[in-house]
Amino acid sequence: MKSFHPPQRTLMGPGPSDVSPRVLEAMARPTIGHLDPVFVSMMDEVKALLKYAFMTQNELTMPVSAPGSAGMETCFVNLVEPGDKVIVCQNGVFGGRMKENVERCGAIPVMVQGEWGRAIDPQQLEEALKANGDAKIVAFVHAETSTGAISDAKTLTEIAHRHGCLVIADAVTSLGGSPVKVDEWKLDAIYSGTQKCLSCTPGLSPVSFSDAAVEKIRNRKTKVQSWFLDLNLVMGYWGANAKRAYHHTAPINALYGLHEALVILEEEGLENAWARHDKHHLALRAGIEAMGLQFVVPEGERLPQLNAIAIPDGVDDARVRGMLLSDWQLEIGAGLGAMAGKVWRIGLMGHACNARNVLLCLSAMEDVLTRLNAPVKKGAALEAATKALG
């Protein structure tokens, strides 16, 4: 066995995204103890920076020491109790994972099934809540990574609150790339991941909980089914003004990386980050459409940082992705669930969202598809994208 040295790739799939060199350098700094006063001071800065990213004053805002899926589970196991009725809006793969969490909590999921590749229909949610007046929680995916569709979190939350429900929202792909306004939209529980628009490595999940959510957690009738994710315990380590009580050994160097990633986001400014993702999405769109390919999600419901492109008839999905990886060192994503084999998912996230990557991706796609005799217009993509970039 020898030391592992990975190849240098350009990551333009659904995540992980390219990691900023500043983040990688931060993660190589000396490891100190997770209860060291200096580390505790950095934890407070991470909380403050996450509040900025989430646009919230929620005191219970922190990173869970595990990937985004654990952030999802943290929200569900703490807020959902056996027998609760939970309305789950599904318009892709990750709404289905929400349903799994509800069931594993011993609760009752009521599904609002939307069309894959479309935003969640607020009227469908309204009808489901009218038919289920005893529902306790509404859960939805703000930015559905499997399809590239973004839903109106503000409207969905307003409907849920009008019916007396708390809200759980998935912002794994939206945080740092699209507006996520926790306080303004009055979201009760939200989770994300570090490997998408925050340009950090996978392995941490930022979460935030409203005062109403914290009250529900503290007044549960039953124990949280997960010891590790029980926020009543974790708050002793991450909570406000707490004498830091040992709960688990935090991933120290990973938290260095998240701290640096959030500093980078603050330096750029949230609004500027959102605008950058929009700008490069429009350039990619111009090139993709000039090439003769089509987007799956209608304009106005598209997630700028996750672009779902329809695979032309007769084109071998896996072969195209394999050639992009071997010949261009470029990774794009396959479709999931109902969209497997039907779409490519091209990510423009965080550090990877730049003009160079837009032009690289279009050049690589045109080269590979032309060699495979796919029905694309040669030579038009770069010109259209360059014009869109200004």
> What is the distance between the alpha carbons of residues 155 and 172, in angstroms, rounded to a whole number?
19
Instruction: Per residue of the chain (390 residues), give pLDDT as tens.
Output: 999 999 999 999 999 999 999 999 999 999 999 999 999 999 999 999 999 999 999 999 999 999 999 999 999 999 999 999 999 999 999 999 999 999 999 999 999 999 999 999 999 999 999 999 999 999 999 999 999 999 999 999 999 999 999 999 999 999 999 999 999 999 999 999 999 999 999 999 999 999 999 999 999 999 999 999 999 999 888 876 556 788 999 999 999 999 999 999 999 999 999 999 999 999 999 999 999 999 999 999 999 999 999 999 999 999 999 999 999 999 999 999 999 999 999 999 999 999 999 999 999 999 999 999 999 999 999 999 999 999
pLDDT score recorded for residue 239: 75
pLDDT score recorded for residue 136: 98
> What is the distance between the alpha carbons of residues 235 and 239, in angstroms, rounded to a whole number?
4
**DSSP alpha helix (H) spans, 140-206:** 153-162, 182-185
Q: Is the pTM of this model over 0.85?
A: yes
Question: What burial class does residue 231 get, using C-beta atoms within 10 Å of its C-beta: 0-12 exposed, 13-18 middle, 19+ buried?
Answer: buried
pLDDT score recorded for residue 339: 95
- Distant-in-sequence, close-in-space partners of 246: CB < 8 Å, separation ≥ 6: 35, 237
Q: What are the residue boundaries of the structural domains of the chain, listed by start?
A: 20-267, 270-389
Q: Are 286 and 385 in contact (CB under 8 A)?
A: yes
Tokens for 66, please give them. Answer: 């595990």
pLDDT score recorded for residue 244: 78
- Find, among 18, 358, 345, 292, the residue nearest to 149 by Cα: 345
Question: Dihedral angle at the C-alpha atoms of 339, 343, 349, 355, nearest 10 degrees?
Answer: -170
Q: What angle do CA 98, 205, 17 make, to 5 degrees?
A: 100
- Find, among 221, 222, 256, 217, the residue nearest to 233 by Cα: 217
> In CATH, which superfamily holds the domain spanning 270-389?
Aspartate Aminotransferase, domain 1 (3.90.1150.10)
For the segment(s) 20-267, the CATH number from 3.40.640.10, 3.20.20.70, 3.40.50.970, 3.90.1150.10 is 3.40.640.10
